[in-house]
Amino acid sequence: MELRIAGVTEESVVDGPGIRLVIYAQGCLQSCPGCHNPETQDLEGGTLVTLKELAEKICRNPFLDGLTFSGGEPFLQAQAFARLAQEFKPRGLTLVTYTGYTFEYLYNESRRDLSIYRLLRATDLLIDGPYLQEKRDLNLLYRGSRNQRIINVSRTLSSGNLSVDEGTSAGLRY
């Protein structure tokens, strides 16, 4: 199975808690003015890589706390991203997923699309919503604009109530 990606950052400390390997999905259907990664929007751009190649990269770093799927839009390739997540979650890596969609939209879509359900279920923290230039705020943890939320997905799904983190690193718990 392959993923179309814009790139990989092998070690990041700004895309979620701890040390994370970040995979940037290639392709996004939203055209947010001021998009931080406009080169990732083209659905035909980027590079095709196999999950095996990505898995090898992940395995090379024993110090990783987790993976971050960013974009572009990871949920446009939910099946392959979910497969990668399902391989590494049992090995103790946590998952942060960025999306331009809202949690509510993805939750509704997940009822008819099993891949979206699997990627949502595998995600520990979902950073949701499009980047809105008029709500830009450089002081936010992990986010670019104030409409975006840090959602604890497992807590949300188990309680039935949206669990939104207030945005302080101390408050982030898996």
Pairing of strands 149-152, 125-128: antiparallel
Amino acid at position 106, single letter? L
What is the dihedral angle through the alpha carbons of 168, 129, 127, 147, rounded to the nearest 10 degrees? 0
Q: Which is nearer to ligand SF4, 41 or 94 (CB)?
A: 41
Question: Which residues 62-81 are close enough to bind ligand SF4 by CB under 6 A?
Answer: 71-73
Q: Binding ligand SF4 by CB under 6 A: which of 40, 94, 97, 123?
A: 40
User: From the CB of 101, what's the least distance to ligand SF4, in Å?
Assistant: 8
d(C-alpha 130, C-alpha 150), whole Å = 13
Q: Binding ligand SF4 by CB under 6 A: which of 9, 12, 37, 163?
A: 37
User: What are the strands, taking DSSP E only, across the chain?
Assistant: 2-12, 20-25, 47-50, 66-70, 94-98, 125-128, 149-152, 164-165
Q: Which is nearer to ligand SF4, 35 or 80 (CB)?
A: 35
Q: Which is nearer to ligand SF4, 147 or 163 (CB)?
A: 147
The stretch among 35-43, 48-56, 79-87, 135-143 that binds ligand SF4 (CB under 6 A) is 35-43
Which stretches of the chain are DSSP H helices?
Answer: 51-59, 78-88, 103-110, 114-122, 153-159
Tokens representing residue 60 in the block = 């090379």
Tokens representing residue 24 in the block = 């940037």
Q: Is 30 in the site for ligand SF4 (CB under 6 A)?
A: yes
User: From the CB of 33, what's the least distance to ligand SF4, in Å?
Assistant: 9
Task: Please give the backbone phi and psi of residue 38, each rounded to the nearest 5 degrees, phi first.
Answer: -60, -25
Q: Is 132 in the site for ligand SF4 (CB under 6 A)?
A: no
Q: Is 103 in the site for ligand SF4 (CB under 6 A)?
A: no
The stretch among 5-13, 24-32, 49-57, 78-86 that binds ligand SF4 (CB under 6 A) is 24-32
Q: Please give the residue ranges that form the binding site for ligand SF4 (CB under 6 A).
A: 28, 30-32, 35-37, 40-41, 71-73, 100, 130-131
